[in-house]
Amino acid sequence: MTTLLQASQLCAGYGRLQIIRDISVRVPERQLTVVVGPNGAGKTTLMRALVGIIPISGGSVTLAGTQVNSLGVSRRVANGLVLVPEGRHLFAQMTVEENLELGGYLLKQSERRALLDQVLALFPRLAERRKQLAGTMSGGEQQMVAVGRALMGKPKCMLLDEPSLGLAPKMVTELFRILRQICDAGTGVLLVEQNVRQALSVCDHAYILEQGQVVADGSGPELLQGERVRRSYLGL
């Protein structure tokens, strides 16, 4: 199985404050991979370190076999590593279509149009509302625009930081269904989630992050049946 993204022994933090320690995670092709953990565990910090928003103090990040440690954020994006951050960050006064097109700004126009059609086919709701201002879309729809915009960059691997936050349960199910399709089509997906039960139910492999370290990993069903998850996350 091709590994699209690999973090090995990653250490990072803010200034002298080390938040994540010796984290190793792997995102294989066609395997929906998730990171779950409580508030403050370091999930967002891990995402930031992977895409280069914050520097790492140890370890390495490899994208499709190439080490990217020394590349800045924009070079990593150009190489196919994108982050859909928590909170979406859309251009509210631009239409859905314009927001999506911005994600493909590096592509030639003909390629961008073709990819836009593919993305709209994946998100029928966005296709219906392509001319609507992004700021007037519902929370779930805006999240889909953010994911669609990231796809317009033709990523090798997409990282998503809590995309289900604040969404109605039906929207969360729809979003996870689409992420599965994206993953099956060959784009790597690493998903950070607080929604532990649902994330473990849909993923292929999960890592549990606590206090900046991976404390367990395994398949979704394995972890759902394990003592740690049942006690600490499912209240059983």
* Of 37, 25, 42, residue with least CA distance to 232: 37
Check binding of 195 to ligand ATP (CB under 6 A): no
**Is 40 near ligand ATP (CB under 6 A)?**
yes
21: its two tokens? 């320690």
> Does 43 interact with ligand ATP (rule: CB under 6 A)?
yes
Q: Rule CB under 6 A: is residue 44 a binding residue for ligand ATP? A: yes
Residue whose C-alpha is closest to residue 211's, from 34, 31, 40, 78: 40
39 touches ligand ATP (CB under 6 A): yes
Size of the site for ligand ATP (CB under 6 A): 12
User: Which stretch in 37-45, 105-113, 137-145, 149-157 sits in contact with ligand ATP by CB under 6 A?
Assistant: 37-45
What's the angle, vertex CA 161, arms to CA 34 and CA 165, rounded to 5?
A: 100
142 CB burial (10 A radius; 0-12, 13-18, 19+): buried
CA distance 179 to 52: 23
Closer by beta carbon to ligand ATP, 166 or else 221: 166
Whether 192 and 44 have beta carbons less than 8 Å apart is answered as: yes
Return the H-helix or E-strand segment holding 12.
strand 3-14
- Decide if residue 164 touches ligand ATP (CB under 6 A): no
> Nearer Cβ to ligand ATP, position 24 or 132?
24
Among 10, 42, 137, 163, binds ligand ATP (CB under 6 A): 42
Dihedral sign of CA atoms 20, 159, 170, 184 in order: negative
Binding mask 1-20 for ligand ATP (x = CB under 6 A): -------------x--x-x-
**Residue 139 makes contact with ligand ATP by CB under 6 A:** no
Q: By CB under 6 A, which span of 38-46, 106-114, 175-183, 223-231 interacts with ligand ATP?
A: 38-46
163 makes contact with ligand ATP (CB under 6 A): no
The amino acid present at 85, given as its one-letter code, is P
Residues engaged in binding ligand ATP (CB under 6 A): 14, 17, 19, 37, 39-45, 194
